Amino acid sequence: MPYLRVETNVDIADENFVVELSKLTAENVGKPEAYVMIAIHADLKMSFGGKADPCALLTLKSLGLQASQCKGLSAVLCKFMGEKLDISPDRIYIEMDSHEREMFGWNGSTFG
């Protein structure tokens, strides 16, 4: 159940952005894309370090996410954001979190 939320002050005009990000997330988290949810919140009023230059906050939640995966995920996601939105990796925060299966609901129940 990977869920990736992107918050950025950049306007995202590319309609393929969310599709590409979904595939990338599935591949790098190691889960079927059928369970991946992506939420995009673009063109927000944001600052990072007191400057309104392009920046982003990504929130990634996935059942079974391991700490050993996080550095690689950070590299992949920062690269993607840089290539697609021209956001420097030093202006991106990524919050990564794993939940117990019983603590995440879907389809009228939970995963546990």
- Dump pLDDT digits (tens) for 14-65: 989 999 999 999 999 999 999 999 999 999 999 999 999 999 999 999 999 9
Mean pLDDT of 63-92: 97
pLDDT at 51: 98
pLDDT at 112: 86
pLDDT at 77: 98
Which of 30-34, 81-85, 97-101 is least confident? 97-101
Q: Sorting pLDDT into bands at 50, 70 and 90, what band is 75? A: very high
pLDDT reading at 104 higher than 90: no
Q: Reduce the secondary structure of the chain to three states and give it as a string.
A: CCEEEEEECCCCCCCCHHHHHHHHHHHHHCCCHHHCEEEEECCCCCCECCECCCCEEEEEECCCCCHHHHHHHHHHHHHHHHHHHCCCHHHEEEEEECCCHHHCEECCEECC
CATH topology of domain 3-110: Macrophage Migration Inhibitory Factor (3.30.429)
Is 2 in the active site? yes
- Domain range summary for the chain, segments of one domain joined by +: 3-110
